[in-house]
Structure 1
Amino acid sequence: MKHTESDSTTSNEFEFGTTSSDVEVTTSERLRDIYEEFVYKPGLVAWDDRRTRIGSIILFAYVLIGTVGVWLYEAPATNQDPRSLQPFEQFFVAPLGTTGSGEDVLAMAIHATPAMLIMVLAGGVFATGFAVLIGTVAGYKGGATDRLLTTFSDIAMSIPGLPLIMVVAIILSPENPAVIGVIITINYWAGLARSIRSQVLAIREHSYVEASRTMGTGTTRIIVKDIIPNIMPYVLVNFANAARYVIFAAVGLYYLGVLPTSVSNWGIQLNNAYKQAGALSGGGTFYQLLVPMAFIMFIALAFILLAQGMDRVFNPRVRTRMAGESKSESDDDTDTAAPTEVMN
């Protein structure tokens, strides 16, 4: 009897130890898979793509300009420097010249950068985040919920974007860059939400989603764990496109005077250069128009390159090929080392 109890205890301890070991192995493998899928493979492809590298460098330069540059470069002020200096005429005073009122042109562009970056981030996050929320819930739930959210998206899409933005901006007169970014993308999300919904309709029929549903997993967990990771490539690409839209829309609205001119912006610089300095009339002031144009073009180029690069990064075929090459290299190293071990 004692022998039987001892065997039973030993057997239980062995079974418990095996289960614990299996859990540890499963967890480590899962973490390794997550690292390879979401960090290693995308990073490998991104580093191989020149467009992603160039876009990231340009965008990082703008972040430095909006943080360190603003701190190092004094804010522009009227009659601060000699008036109507040409570019490089007095390099250490105003490298890219001054306006007719003595404001440093480069300083104006630099100090407009932080507000623009905040607008881009706020607008991009709002547009893509709201689109993901509406699109995933509508596509996964279906039925009355789908019809209600789809109708809401259709109504938002049917309203002309620019007139709506102008009306809301005139009523609110916002000065907070984050609020301006949200207003600019007030109905930009609708088209993206419809596209995400169509993708979710296909994803919800996959076997792993059906398995989660069969096991009684909650809707929120299924959407967060099973559906959203599969649409993230599309979402990130559209985030870059939304950011580019915010840039052009904000500059245009500031240029037209719809948004308050008390906030520094490249659009206000363009307006002043065109109307006050006569930059297009041949008076030698074209540089006042060229500097903000260059800032606008390069940040737009950064997001275009990032969108193109991310489309390649999240292409499953490219990622599989890149990962396969790295694995084949490691396999070759193992095969090379194997004969030596046998000889020993």
Structure 2
Amino acid sequence: MASQQSDGETVADELPFKTTADTTISRQEQIRQVADRTVIAPFRVMWSDWRAKVGFVIVVLYILMGTIGVLVNPTPYTGMGERYLQPFHDGWFSLQPVSVGGITLPLDPRFHLILGTDAMGQGIWSQIVHATPAMLKMILAGAVFSTIVATILGTLAGYKGGLTDRAIMTLSDITMTIPGLPLVMIIAAALDPKNPYLIGLILGINNWAGLSRAIRSQVLSVRERSFVEASRAMGLSTPRILIDDIIPDLMAYISIHFVQAARGIIFESVALYYLGVLPFTTLNWGVMMNLSYTTSGALYTWQSAHWIFTPMITIALFSVGLILFSQGMDQIFNPRIRARHVKSVSSADTDEEDEAPNPMTDVPTN
């Protein structure tokens, strides 16, 4: 719309919350404010909670293991060492001599098959590391896909209501009634997938339904709040209201369910690899557990027990890290907690304004 001014010029109407302040700030200050709001403040919130701190460190270590770790660790091959070497065996750590100023000193640390070997002499640690990238890809594909689909459909159903709500909820109810594991097994057997991204999508194909219904119930309460009613009264479009008002209010809830979906992808993939439903075309923690059980009966012999318990501990530690990190995400998306950790880049200017005389209060008295 446009409004006519007294001088005959036509200007665009401005919404109240789009009004520009009288004082302007430099581009550098704007960048500092954005960085403080979006990066520094959330990191302060996370670092103030020990659960988020521990979970963040664990998740980052797994990401580094799946990216940098595969570059510095050799690809596992048969005959890397003796069969059934135990973890932290004799010779797993040594200091190689280095010449410093003509003096030979043992300063170069070397690690050799730190977690032992399996029945074929392959390093357990190398298998754990090289199985991590495929697991991260499956999580990225499956958990992100199911979370995005559930968020879009759940918010749309809860906000629009009516026929849209009934259609989406009917689809989600039908999806929830289909047994998840048999469905995934049938699709995996039919497609014989080898790409980790495709495997992740298959594993997350029916995980969106429950989250979509849960998000819908949350939106039903959020859409009646005053700030949503104000946006609707101003004539804002539905996508704008969903993105700016409703979804940010649900981010803590969505992030927790994203972590739950990621854990589900881990457990399902490991189970299907262990059962042999998914092809043994790539390294996986489930493949290691399957081979350890079928090859040497790792559950019943101490000689090869480390072969099956090492991937189990790896899965459990990753799961704990994700749970702790999700609990910290609840604090990060809490606007009141974030506001307390935001450092104002214009605090000095504010202090100067407070010290300046106020013409409304500093009125001379007779």
TM-score by length of 1: 0.82
Is it true that 1:51 corresponds to 2:48 in the alignment?
A: no
Q: How does 1:132-281 map to 2 (within 5 A)?
A: 132-281=151-300
The residue that corresponds to 2:20 in the other structure is: 23
**1:90 Cα deviation after fit:** 4.1
Residue 239 of structure 1 deviates from its aligned partner by: 0.9
Secondary structure, in 3 states, of the residue corresponding to 2:115? coil
Write the distance in 2 (CA, Å) between the matches of 1:57 and 1:121.
19
Contact 2:130 2:283 in 1 (8 A): yes
AA aligned to 1:67 is: T
Q: Note the C-alpha offset of 1:81.
A: 2.9
Aligned to 1:5: none
Structure 1 counterpart of 2:358:
none
* Aligned match of 1:16: none
* Contact 2:69 2:129 survives alignment (8 Å): yes
Higher mean C-alpha displacement, 306-315 vs 239-248 = 306-315
Residue number in structure 2 paired with 1:76:
76
Gaps of 5+ in 2: 1-5, 10-18, 93-110, 356-366
1:126-184: CA deviation from partner (whole Å, max 9, x where unpaired): 11101001101111111111100010011111111111111111111111111111111
Q: 1:308 aligns with which of 314, 318, 327?
A: 327
Counterpart of 2:3 in structure 1 is none
TM-superposed CA distance for 1:323, in Å, is 4.9
- Once the 2 structures are TM-superposed, how far is the Cα of residue 71 of structure 1 from its aligned partner? 0.5
Higher strand share: 2
Given that residues 66 and 132 in structure 2 are in contact (C-alpha distance below 8 angstroms), is that contact kept between their aligned partners in structure 1? yes
Distance (Å, rounded) in 2 between the aligned partners of 1:234 and 1:153: 19
Alpha-carbon spacing, 1:207–1:32, altered in 2? closer, same or farther (3 Å) = farther
Offset, 1:85: 2.2
CA distance in structure 2 between the partners assigned to 1:278 and 1:196 by the alignment = 45
Cα deviations across residues 320-339 of structure 1 (Å, max 9, x unaligned)?
6x459x89xx89x969x96x
CA drift at 1:31: 8.9
Using the alignment, how far apart are the partners of 2:41 and 2:47 within structure 1? 10
User: What is the root-mean-square deviation of aligned Cα atoms in Å?
Assistant: 3.2
- What is the CA-CA distance between 1:30 and the residue it aligns to? 10
Deviation at 1:186, TM superposition (A): 1.2
8 A Cα contact 1:56 1:306, kept in partner: yes
Equivalent residue pairs, number: 318
User: Structure 1's 81 and 31: CA in aligned 2 closer, same or farther, altered over 3 A?
Assistant: closer
Identify the residue that residue 286 of structure 1 maps to in structure 2: 305
CA pair 25-264 structure 1, distance change in 2 beyond 3 A: farther
| TM norm structure 2 | 0.78
1:86–1:98 Cα contact (<8 Å) kept: yes
Shift of 1:83: 2.4
Letter in 2 for 1:295: T
Specify the code of the residue in structure 2 equivalent to 1:65: M
Distance 1:283 1:31, change over 3 A: closer
The equivalent of 2:149 in structure 1 is 130
In terms of fraction of residues, the more helix-rich structure is 1
Q: In 2, are the aligned partners of 1:99 and 1:277 still within 8 Å (CA)?
A: no
Separation in 2, partners of 1:40, 1:64? 22
Tell me the CA shift for residue 277 of structure 1. 1.9
Deviation at 1:49, TM superposition (A): 0.2
1:114 to 2:119 alignment: no
Q: Partners in 2 of 1:109 and 1:83 — Cα distance?
A: 17
Instruction: Give the superposition deviation at 1:257.
Output: 0.7
Change in CA separation of 1:27 and 1:53 when aligned onto 2, cut-off 3 Å: farther
Q: CA shift at 1:124, angstroms?
A: 1.4
Structure 2: distance between partners of 1:25 and 1:206: 31
Q: 1:32 to 1:223 in 2, by over 3 A?
A: farther
Aligned residue type for 1:55: G
- Measured in 1, the distance between the counterparts of 2:39 and 2:48 equals 14
**CA contact under 8 A between 2:84 and 2:303: conserved in structure 1?**
no
Deviations 1:188-227 (A, max 9, x none): 1111101111111122222332232233322222211221
Q: Percent identity at matched positions?
A: 46
Conservation of the 8 A alpha-carbon contact between 1:89 and 1:95? no
Structure 1 residue 315: Cα displacement: 4.0
